[in-house]
Structure 1
């Protein structure tokens, strides 16, 4: 009886179509940890792995629909870096999957085009931007912790560490906290599993490790707007700032970002080697590209690497494409959000460059307004 039910659930014709498609397209699917994966990267991929904001979450998938229908559908939007279909022990899919593209603009186009897409076999897909947590919060660190040396320690204990921001205790003596940014959700997940034990075993100290998330509410997920974000009041992009690097000594951007690391090194506090030097002052960008300029500012003030999240919003009556953006900067207590209008470009890549440029310009202006940072 159970065998007959399983036979009905799996649908032999659909399984046969999947096998024929794999042979015809030379696609390789790998089963690992309750999911079946394509790519990551695929054989034809060139360049680095995609950053944040490039993945979409697909739900409401009929249980007998497989990659032979889903991958070509999502490849019609752009080149897929990775596709993961969640599977259960019976061979059914679990009703949801993830598709990762090369850039956030292509991912936004997939959401815009395929959300509520009706499959010929039946069923209506739900497609949304994926929430990719890549930042961990380390608490209960020693008061003598040094930011540069903590970065070295974390890179020894876990893979994919991009940068770290140390928040020292305030006047009320609160705990020392570090915000650690990883290159991927997978790298952060692996680190979360090992860091507590590694710090206890190697250095004899007990720390806490938790996820950091910028998702405030369902309202944020659905609208892309956050009550705590800086949202420009107008639809048009703010005027372009002059972005010549300043030659004066910089002022602190936030009161809780230390201009100099603590004197006593982290290694000495936890029993490791001391004497490592801080990272050199980052060089100012030689071009006038706003994205490079924002990266330089964040390096200068030790704020971490900016992470861009872009979502297509609508097409206005005058033909402009409207995007909502959010830039997550680890050293800021809030994301920088805004609204951008651009004219349709000749390619997705061209539109991506224009959206990122306009987002970076707005972020620079906002940072100048809310801090003592001199305008450029």
Structure 2
């Protein structure tokens, strides 16, 4: 009975067309937490990760129209870096999707060309620039919480955390809230799904996790509508999100986070254990001591600000090395740190990119240590 009901809901011919298209085009689609993703980056991508303004929001998609129809349509405007179609458990789409291009001009062209585009299958698409919300509001936090400790825990539980700001809010200014900036809307969306449950499971703390948004707007992941980022009255806005290097390790699922009680079970649910000074409870370094996370941690501990990377490919040498020039801006330094590095190409574009950032971070750490006569650990 359930099989017949599902068959009535799903258009089997459309599903067959999707499977045939995937085989013919060698397209890989990945199902992740209620959305099906292509790319991010796609095979053969050579450019940098697209910044703000490169993504479009697509709504009013008929529920039985899939990527075999949508991706070629939006690829006709320009190369797609990433395409995400929101999905129901039934196998239908949820009526909206995101397409990210390599630059804002191509995204604007997609809006002008495909807004109100009428599909042969029926339905008229709505296409507009994505607001790419990246900020979450964490409420009901313990009053004894520490900003650096919270930042460390959030980075263990979710991917793409850039900055955290703690503020007092509420009618009497007694509620502690955190505004958390993420590197992308996707990272923030994934964090919103898991943070409340993760804090409850691992630390016994009940918190609220909401989008920072206008009260009259609705959240896109639940309604298919988008709104902009807004800082609630009484709170100072977070600094503008900085450009950070790509995360070098896959984001763990909630079941895998973490394998051991992190940071002494968040310092016994954000309280000072008897006889243990607060200074001794601070983390002694990043959980994963690769050069990029180590530099990030050094800057946080010494209140230098978040490092901002700018890396440019220069040339390939005759002996097979790739040469890059780099600049790393650390906000508390008056001038950026810059130089040239050489690396051997990795097995993929992404692996090469990660190695570039690691090499740059190592040189920056060495420079900082020479200047300050301090150790990175």
TM-score by length of 2: 0.51
1:89-108 to 2 correspondences below 5 Å: 93-108=93-108
State the match for 1:279 in structure 2.
302
Structure with bigger RCO (C-alpha 8 Å, 6+ apart)? 1
Q: Does 1:126 align with 2:131?
A: no
Structure 2 distance, partners of 1:5, 1:189, is 28
CA deviations over 1:176-221 (Å, ceiling 9, x no partner) = 2210112234433443344445545655654433221258659xxx
* Residue correspondence of structure 1 range 8-23 to structure 2 within 5 A: 10=11, 12=13, 17-23=17-23
* Paired position in structure 1 for 2:113: 113
**Any conservation in 2 of the 1:78–1:101 contact (CA below 8 Å)?**
yes
The residue aligned with 2:271 is 270
Gaps of 5+ in 2: 219-224, 239-265, 283-299, 311-327, 333-377
- The 1:278/1:64 distance shift into structure 2, 3 A limit, reads closer
Distance 1:23 1:136 in 2: 39
What secondary structure is seen at the aligned counterpart in 2 of 1:163?
Answer: strand
Query: How far 1:75 sits from its partner (Å)?
Result: 1.0
Q: CA RMSD in A?
A: 4.8
Name the residue aligned to 1:292: none
Change (3 A) 1:74 1:139: same
1:140–1:176 contact (8 Å) kept in structure 2: yes
In structure 2, the residue matched to 1:211 is: 211
Structure 1 portions without partners, runs of 5+: 229-253, 259-265, 288-294, 301-376
Question: SS of the counterpart of 2:279?
Answer: coil
Q: What is the rounded CA distance, in whole Å, between the counterparts of 2:109 and 2:156 in structure 1?
A: 38
- Asked whether the 8 Å contact 2:214–2:229 carries over to 1, the reply is no
User: Matches of residues 189-204 of structure 1 in structure 2 within 5 Å?
Assistant: 189-199=189-199
Find the aligned partners of 2:5 and 2:209 in 1 and give their Cα distance: 47
Q: How does 1:176-195 map to 2 (within 5 A)?
A: 176-195=176-195
Superposed displacement of residue 225, structure 1: 10
Distance 1:166 1:3, change over 3 A: closer
Is contact 1:167-1:257 (8 Å) kept? no
Give the structure 1 partner of residue 37 of structure 2: 37
Matches of 2:166 and 2:81 in 1, distance apart?
33
Cα 1:154/1:124, change in 2 over 3 Å: closer
1:52-92 deviation per Cα after TM superposition (whole angstroms, max 9, x unaligned): 54332223334554323321110122221222334556665
Separation in structure 2 between the aligned mates of residue 17 and residue 168 of structure 1, nearest angstrom? 54
- Tell me: CA distance 1:284–1:101, structure 2 relative to 1, closer, same or farther (3 Å): closer
Mark the CA change 1:116 to 1:150 in structure 2 (over 3 Å): closer, same or farther: same
Contact kept, 8 Å, 1:51 with 1:184, in 2: the verdict is no
Q: 1:141 to 1:99 in 2, by over 3 A?
A: same
Q: Give the secondary structure class of the aligned counterpart of 1:274.
A: helix
**Shift in alpha-carbon separation, 1:81–1:203, aligned structure 2, 3 A:** same
Normalising by structure 1, report the TM-score: 0.51
In the aligned structure 2, how far is the partner of 1:31 from the partner of 1:145? 36
